[in-house]
Amino acid sequence: MSSLTHVLAPAKLNLFLHITGRRPDGYHLLQSAFMLIDWCDTLHFESTHHGGIEREDLTSALPADDLITRAARSLQTASATTMGAHIAVEKSIPAQAGMGGGSSDAATTLLALNRLWGLNWPVSKLLPLGLALGADVPFFLHGHNAWVEGIGEKITPLELPKARFVVIRVNAGLETARIFNAPTLERATRAATISDFAVAPFDFGRNDLQPVAQALCPEIDQALQWLSSFGLSPRMTGSGSAVFAKLPDGLSLDAPPGDWQIRVCSNMAVHPLGGWVVNDV
């Protein structure tokens, strides 16, 4: 048997998130800038010959049929391999936070098992599997910061300046469906361009989901106000409930008023597994 240990799955932040329309099938059309940060889950993979997919939760308990297990089974079926895997998971990225933890874990699973099982598939063969698992998975498979459009499948690489961010995940979680089904959600923001964004990438636009989330979860509003009290310009990432702000050099923060997860993170230029697969798209 062979193994891959301490394999990282990084979180992401949405620097902005605009809803520009809605398709007839109900899916929302968006524009966003996705940025990798060094808040990571850690996965450990061991190949097996009995064909089973086993997951071991080393920290918090995950649902039985989570995205990690589904990603492994998806690749196993698509490749017709007889190999199986034992996957041990150390969760660090909070759930229901808009940070893409589940999607990142799924992408890391596809990348790691592609290597461990000796499939050597290029990104183009992994992408359909990723998109079937979730709209954010292709971003993590591409492995770089990106301008994202459509329902998450149109991805253009971005280069971003190095920066630090304070990220807070409040205690409450939010279900994405509650946000997108809200009648007050803004669904017709004017389309922007990458050149618009590039002028001030960390100050551009807004998160159209944030007003709905603040109404549903007062803790989000409290965290945003606390960050604003330091002269920062905070916003929510994804559909929440994590919020973040770019952190100037030399600024120190007091203890937050809530019992929240708070971490200072740096952005990443490329995914930690970026060299594990041929990026042919």
Catalytic annotation, residues: 12, 136
Q: Closest by alpha carbon to 220, among 244, 247, 243?
A: 243
**Cis geometry, peptide bond prior to residue 266 (ω within 30 degrees of 0):** no
Tokens of 266: 């740096």
Q: Say if residues 85 and 113 touch (Cβ distance below 8 Å).
A: yes
Query: Please, what's the b/e burial string for 26-63 (b: 16 or more CB within 10 A of its CB; e: otherwise)?
Result: eebbbbbbbbbbbbbbbbbbbbeeeeebebeeeeeebe
Please list the helix, strand and coil fractions of the chain in percent, rounded to the nearest 5, in that order.
25, 30, 40
